Amino acid sequence: MNAISTVARDELAAFDTVLASGSASAFTTDNERWTAIEARDVRADGQFFYGVRTTGVFCRPSCASRLPRRENVEFFADADAARTAGYRECKRCRPGGLPRELEIVRRACAALDADPQARLTLAQLGEAAHLSPFHLQRLFKRVLGVSPRQYQAARRGAVLRDALAQGTDVTRASADAGFNSSSRLYESVAGELGMAPSAFRRKGAGLTIRYAGAVTPLGRVLIAATDKGICRIAFGDDPGALSASLATDFANARCIEDTAALAPFVAQIDAYLHGRREHIELPLDIAATAFQQRVWDALQRIPYGETRSYTQIAETLGAPRAVRAVASACASNPVALAIPCHRVVQKGGALAGYRWGLARKAALIDAEARAGEVRIAATARAATQADNPPPHGSKQGSKPGSKQNPKRDSKRGRTTSTPETTA
C-alpha cells in the first residue's frame, strides 16, 4: 500500500513548488537576482543560477562561497544553461542537485514512509537523515510546515483513509496504518476523517445529515450538519445541483432536508451577508489533514475587512515555499464563510480562484471592506477584470488586497485597511 497517497497531495505539496520558491514572478530581473545573491536568499534557490566568469564556476543564489564582483556575474535560468555556457558546478553548494536542506527532509520523509506501522522517535529519524534531532525538528517544520510527529499522524490517517475507501475492514486497516489499539485509533482520527472510521468506510452509512437551502445575495446556499456540527456550506445557482453534490459525497448517509433544525445557522449566514454581523460562530464537523487544519486556522485569524496573500499565509505557517499547498488547502475548504478562504488573494492583489465563483469572492471582499451588505451585481465586473487584467501600463483602479490608506469608519469607530501589495 502506498503510504503517502493522501499526504503527498497536502503535507508534501510544498515539494512540488519548492524550487519555484512559491512565486513564479520572483527574481525576474538582474537587480532582484543580484540582491538575492547578496542576501544569500534560500528562497531564490531553483529560480536561477549564477556563473562567475573569473572562476568558471556556477552556483546557487544561497551559496556560502565568497561573494563575487557584480561585473563578473552572469545569470542562467537553469543549471543546463550554465553548463552549456562552459561553467562547472560549485563543489560547495552543488547546484546540480537538490538544496541540502531539502535533501535532508526528503531522507527523513523516506524513512517515515518506509513502514506505516513504525513509530520512529526523533532520535531515530535524525540518525536516518544524518542530522541531530534538534536541528531536524526545526528544519522539517520550516520546510514542510508540520513537525515530524504531525507528518506521521497525517500519514497514518492517509493510509487508513485509503484502506477504508477500498473496503478493508476497520481492524485490518487500523493495524496496517500503525494504530496499536482501537482506543488510539478512535481518539486520533475522528477529527481527520470527519466521522468514525466505520462510518467513513461506509461512506457515511449510519450517519444522519440534515440540510437546508436558502436564497442569499450570493445566490443559493446549502448548509448541512451532522450531530456534531456543520459539515458543508456551499453556494451555487441550482438548488438541485447543491443537494445532489451533498448526496454524492455522502452516498450512504441519510440526508434529510430539515429547514427548522438548520434555521439558526441559516440566520447567521443571512446576517453576515447583510452586514449585520462580522463573525460566524458555528460548530464544525469537517475532515482535515494536519496541514489543511493549520491553513484553515490561519484563515480564521484574518480580521474582518482585510485580505492576505497566499504567500503571507505560507509565511505565517513558517513554510514560505508552500504557497501552492496553501492554495490547495483553501480550495478544499468545505464550509464557505465559516472558514473565510475568500479573504486570500494573489500576491499582486488579484482575486485568484474561488470554488464558488470569482463574482462571489469579489462581492464578499467588497462587502467586508464597506462593512455592509453583499452586492454581487456591483462587483461582478471587478471579478471579470481580475480574470482578464488590462494590458501592462494601462491605468486601473485599486484591487482587493492592494495597499490603501487606513480609513476611519465613523459609524463603527474602527479602522479598516487591506495589506500592502508586494511586487
Alpha helical stretches, state H, 53-203? 79-84, 100-114, 122-129, 133-144, 148-165, 170-176, 182-193, 197-201
Distance CA 64, CA 281 (A): 50
H or E element that contains 51: strand 49-52
Helix (H) or strand (E) holding 214: strand 208-216
Cell numbers for 291: 496541514
Hey, how many other C-beta atoms are within 10 angstroms of the C-beta on 396? 9
Distance CA 258, CA 236 (A): 19
Q: Reduce the DSSP state of residue 281 to 3 states and report it.
A: coil
Residue 240: φ, ψ to 5°: -65, -40
CA distances from 400 to 17, 305, 338, 367, 409 (A): 26, 10, 20, 11, 18
**Annotation says 255 is catalytic:** no
Would you call 63 a catalytic residue per the annotation?
no
Which grid cell sits at 40? 544569500
DSSP 191: H
Cα distance between residue 367 and residue 91, in whole Å: 56
The answer to whether 10 and 154 have CB atoms below 8 angstroms apart is yes
Cα separations in angstroms, 79 against 86, 91, 92: 11, 14, 15
Radius of gyration of the chain, Cα coordinates, nearest whole angstrom: 24
- Decide: 132 and 126 in contact? Cβ < 8 Å: yes
309-318 burial: b if 16+ Cβ within 10 Å, else e:
bbbbbbbbbe
Phi, psi of 107 (to 5 degrees): -65, -40
State the catalytic residue, choosing from 63, 93, 109, 341. 341
Whose CA is closest to 116, among 165, 164, 173? 173
344 forms beta bridges with 308
Catalytic residue among 59, 63, 93, 109: 59
Q: 187 vs 153, 190, 335, CA distance in Å?
A: 12, 7, 24
List residues with catalytic annotation: 59, 341
